[in-house]
Amino acid sequence: MCGIVGYIGNRKAYDILIKGLHRLEYRGYDSAGVALVARDGKINIFKTKGKVENLEAFCADKDLGACTGIAHTRWATHGEPSDTNAHPHYSEDGNIAIVHNGTIENYKVLKDALIQHGCKFHSETDTEVLVQLIEYIRISNKCSLFSAVRQALKQVVGAYAIAVVAKDKPDTIIAARQSSPLVIGIGDNEYFLASDATPFVEYTKECVYLKDGEIAEIKQGESLRITDLDNEESEIDVTTLQMSISQLEKGGYPHFMLKEIFEQPDTLRDCIRGRVVDRGHRIIINGVSDNREVFKNAKRIVIVACGTSWHAALLGRYLIQDMCRIPVVVEYASEFRYSNPVINKDDVVIAISQSGETADTLAAVQIAKEAGAFVFGISNVVGSSIPRETYAGCYIHVGPEIGVASTKAFTGQVMVLTLLSLAVAQLRGTMTDDQIAQVGKCVLKIPTYVKRVLETLNDKIERLSLTYTYARNFLYLGRGYSYPVALEGALKLKEISYIHAEGYPAAEMKHGPIALIDQEMPTVIIAPKGHVYEKIVSNVQQVKARGGNILAIVTDGDTEISKIADHVLEVPEMPECLTPIITSVPLQLLSYYIAINKGKDVDMPRNLAKSVTVE
Ligand code: F6R
C-alpha cells in the first residue's frame, strides 16, 4: 500500500525516483508525485492522479534539476484518488514536504487541534495533517527538522513509513517507520530510501532496514543517524542484498505475471534446493530442525494468512493433517485478530505472507506471541516484518514477485508447506521412511513437471481462453487438495479479468450454487486422480446434467471425465498431496489469457495493491 522512494547524492534525483516508483507501482497506482529539493532552497512538487507514466508526462516540461528528492505512488485510503490528495503533501508555508505510507488513526483529533491554531488544509488526507503538525512543532519549538518529526510522531497513533524534506535542508531526508516498511540504501556519498530495496538494487547492495519506532537522519556526506522516538541512538545493522536487477525486469515477456508463471520451474527448484536431500529420503527445514521439541510436542497448528496466502494455508491444513496427524485450524488473519482467539502455549502458529508486510497477518503474529504460542513465519521477502517478528521460519525463495496477482509465490508457499509437513512427519514418526522417500522423490520432479505443463498447455489454454472470455460468471470446483486450488483459480480470474468467479468444494455445489448452472456459466473442475476422484466424477455429471459447460483439469490419460467435460487440460500424474502445485499452473494461465483477451492491465489490476499494509 503506497510506495516511497527517496534519494540524496550527486545524481539527478528525478531519474532515480521515477525508476524507483515504477518498481514500487505494485504497491498502489492511484496517483504519483515527487518533491525535488534544489540546493538553492527551492522545493518543486509535481503530482498527478493515475500511474507513474502520467506523472512522467506531466513532468516532461518541468524544472527537474535537483539531487535530493522524495517520491510516492499511492493506494488511496483517506480521500479519493485525485491530484490534490496525491503525495507529496506540504506544509502551508511550503517549507517542508512529506510522503507517507500507512494510516494515521488519530488524524482527525490532530487536524482539529491544528485548525484551532490557524492551519488550513487542502486535501482530505491524513498525511497532510502530519506534515502540518511537523512544521507547526518546528516553528513553535524552534527545533531542528529531525526533532520536529520525532516530536510529531510521538503524537501519532497508527502506521507510517515517511520521508520528509525541507527547503532549508537540501542535503537531508528524515525518514521514520511504524508498521510500514522502509529501507535505506547506502551508496558511495549517496543514500537511497524506499519501501523495499528494489528501487536501488542496481546502485548499492548495502542497506539498513528501519525498525518499528525508529527515525533516521539521512544526510549526504555524513554517517546515518538512527534513534528511537525518545532520541535513544539505535544500533545500525547493515544488510547485504542478495537480489539481482534481472529479477526485476520482464526478461522478454509482455507482463510480469506471465514471466512469473513461466519462472515457476526455476523458482520451485530454488525453493526445494538444499531442503530435499539423499535423493528424497530426507527433508531439511532449518526452522523445524532448530525447534525439534516445539514441533514434536505441538498439540495444534493454527495458520493465519490473507488472500492467496490463505489459500496456501488451506492446503497446509490438508498436508499437515495428512502427514503429521496434528489438528490444524486455518484463519483469515483479519478475522483471527478480532476473534478473541483461544491460543495455547503448545500451539504452533504459522503466519504466511508473500510480502511479509501484510498488516492483518502481522497483527495476528503479535497476538499469537502475546498468547505464548510458538510463531513460525513463511515469507518471500527477506528482511520483511513477518520474518523479523516470528521466532523461526522459512523463506520460499521465489525471487521478487511484481505482478499484483500472486502466482509463483503461491506455488512456493505450497511447496514450503509440503516440505514442512514432511519434515515434521519425519520428526514425529507419522510417516515411514519409505513413505517420506516416495513423496520426497516426486517433490524433486515437480520443477520438471511444471515445465512440462507450461510447454504442453500454454498454447492450448491461450486458444481455449477465447471460448471463455465473455462469460460473466464462473464456478470453480474441487475436492480435498483440489478445493483450495479451486478457490485460488477463482480468485486469480476475478482479480485480473474482473469476471465474477466462485470457488466451491465440489460436493457443496448441490447445496445451493447448482442453481446457478446453465449454459452461460462455465464450470472449471479440478479433478486429478486421487482418493476422491470417483466422487468428483459424479459432481461433473451433475453439472453436465444441468447443461453446464465444463473445463476440467485432469491427470494425463484420464478417460472418464474427458468423456463428459467440454474441454480438458491434462497434467502429469503425481501423488495426491503434490497435485495442487501442478493443477494451479493451468488456472494461472487461463486467468492470464482471459484478462489479456479483455484488454485488462494484468500486472496492475484496478483497485488492488500487492502489499496490503493497512487494515
Ligand atoms: C492475490 C494476492 C493477495 C495476497 C494477499 C496477502 O493474488 O496476491 O490476495 O495474497 O494480499 O498478501 P501477502 O501474501 O503478501 O501477505
Q: Is 403 in the pocket of ligand 1 (CB under 6 A)?
A: no
pLDDT score recorded for residue 438: 97
Q: Are strands 300-305 and 347-353 parallel, antiparallel or unpaired?
A: parallel
pLDDT value at residue 248: 80
* Atom in ligand 1 nearest the alpha carbon of residue 404: 8
Give the up-direction half-sphere exposure of residue 277: CA atoms within 13 A in the CB hemisphere.
7
**pLDDT confidence bin for 249, thresholds 50/70/90:** confident
Q: What is the 3-state secondary structure (H, E, C) of 189-258?
A: CCEEEECCCHHHCCCCCEEEECCCCEEEEEECCCCCEEEECCCCECCCCCEECCCCHHHHCCCCCCCHHH
Confidence bin at 291 (pLDDT 50/70/90): very high
Q: Is 481 a residue whose pLDDT tops 80?
A: yes
Mapped onto helix, strand or coil, the DSSP state of residue 485 is: helix
Closest C-alpha residue for ligand 1 atom 8: 406
147-179 pLDDT, tens digit each:
999 999 999 999 899 999 999 999 999 999 998
Output the furthest CA–CA distance in the chain (Å, rounded).
81
Mean predicted confidence (pLDDT) in 462-489: 96
The phi, psi pair for 22, rounded to 5°, reads -60, -40
Atom of ligand 1 nearest to the CA of 410: 10
Distance (angstroms) between ligand 1 centre and the Cα of 328 equals 21
Contact 528, 553 (CB under 8 A): yes
409 CA → ligand 1 middle, Å: 9
Which grid coordinates are listed for 554? 485432469
Length of the chain: 615
For the CA of 333, the closest atom of ligand 1 is 16
* Distance from C-alpha of 182 to C-alpha of 175, rounded to nearest angstrom: 8
- pLDDT value of position 350: 98
pLDDT at residue 187, rounded to an integer: 97
How much is the pLDDT for 77?
Answer: 78
Which of 306, 584, 613, 615 should be mutated for ligand 1, with most atoms under 8 A from CB?
306
- Quote the percentage of the chain above a pLDDT of 90: 85
* CA distance linking residue 584 with residue 485, whole number of Å: 6
Rounded distance between C-alpha atoms, residue 537 and residue 551, angstroms: 13
Give CA–CA dist 527/510, Å, rounded. Answer: 17
Tens digit of each residue's pLDDT (9 = 90 or more) over 386-414? 999 999 999 999 998 999 999 999 999 99
Query: Which residues touch 120 (CB under 8 Å, ≥6 apart)?
Result: 92
- Catalytic annotation present for 610: yes
Is 308 close to ligand 1, i.e. is its CB under 6 Å away?
A: yes
Residue 406 in contact with ligand 1 by CB distance below 6 A: yes
3 state SS of 284: coil
Q: Are 408 and 262 in contact (CB under 8 A)?
A: no
- Could you identify the atom of ligand 1 that is nearest to the CA of residue 407? 7
Query: Does any ligand 1 atom lie closer than 6 A to the CB of residue 85?
Result: no
pLDDT at position 251 is 82
CA distance 516 to 83: 43
Q: How far apart (Å, rounded) are the C-alpha atoms in residues 501 and 433?
A: 41
* CB contact at 8 A, 481 and 533: no
For ligand 1, mutation pick of 335, 336, 406 (most atoms within 8 Å of CB): 406
Q: Is 361 in the pocket of ligand 1 (CB under 6 A)?
A: yes
Give the distance (Å) from ligand 1 centre to CA of residue 383.
18
Identify the residue with better confidence: 363 or 124: 363
pLDDT in tens, 170-220: 999 999 999 888 999 999 999 999 999 999 999 999 999 999 999 999 999
Are residues 504 and 475 in contact, defined by beta-carbon separation less than 8 angstroms? yes
Per-residue model confidence as pLDDT tens digits over 34-68: 999 998 889 999 999 999 999 999 999 998 999 99
For 545-585, write each residue's pLDDT tens digit. 988 999 999 999 999 999 999 999 999 999 999 999 999 99
**Distance from Cα 150 to the centre of ligand 1, integer Å:** 32
Residue pLDDT, tens place only, 4-22: 999 999 999 999 999 999 9
Cell of 183: 529501507
| Helix 433-468 × helix 579-597 angle, to 10° | 20
- Asked if the model's pLDDT at residue 25 lies above 80, the reply is yes
The confidence score (pLDDT) of residue 235 equals 93
Q: Of 51, 167, 169, 610, which residue is the catalytic one?
A: 610
Contacts of residue 328, Cβ cutoff 8 Å, sequence gap at least 6: 300, 301, 302, 303, 316, 317, 320, 321
Q: How far is the CA of 332 from the centre of ligand 1 (A)?
A: 12
Q: Determine which residue's CA is closest to atom 11 belonging to ligand 1.
A: 307
Structure confidence at residue 608 as a pLDDT band (50, 70, 90): confident
Per-residue model confidence (pLDDT) at position 454 = 98
Q: What phi and psi, each to the nearest 5 degrees, are found at residue 253?
A: -85, 150
Sign of the dihedral defined by the CA atoms of residues 559, 561, 562, 564, in that order:
positive
Please, which pLDDT band fits residue 509 given cuts at 50, 70 and 90? confident
Ligand 1, closest atom to CA 492? 7
Report the C-alpha gap between 43 and 61 in whole angstroms.
16
- Select from 275, 77, 41, 49 the least CA-distant residue to 167: 41
- pLDDT band (50, 70, 90) for residue 345: very high
Ligand 1, atom 10: closest residue by C-alpha: 308
Quick check: 612 pLDDT over 80? no
Task: Output the CA torsion 41→43→44→48 (10° steps).
Answer: 170
- pTM summary value: 0.85
Mean of pLDDT values over 372-380: 97
d(CA 567, CA 554): 10
Mean of all residue pLDDT scores within the chain: 94
Is the preceding omega at residue 199 within 30 degrees of 0, hence cis?
Answer: no
Q: What are phi and psi of 523, to 5 degrees?
A: -115, 125
Mean pLDDT of 62-77: 92
Provide the β-strand partners of residue 215. Answer: 176, 227
User: For 95-154, how does the pLDDT look when each residue is reduced to its tens digit (9 = 90+)?
Assistant: 999 999 988 999 999 999 999 999 999 888 999 999 999 999 999 999 999 999 999 999
Question: The dihedral of CA 40, 54, 262, 402: what is its sign?
Answer: positive
Q: Which residue has the higher pLDDT, 79 or 457?
A: 457
Mutate to test the pocket of ligand 1, among 361, 612, 613, 614 (most ligand atoms within 8 A of CB): 612
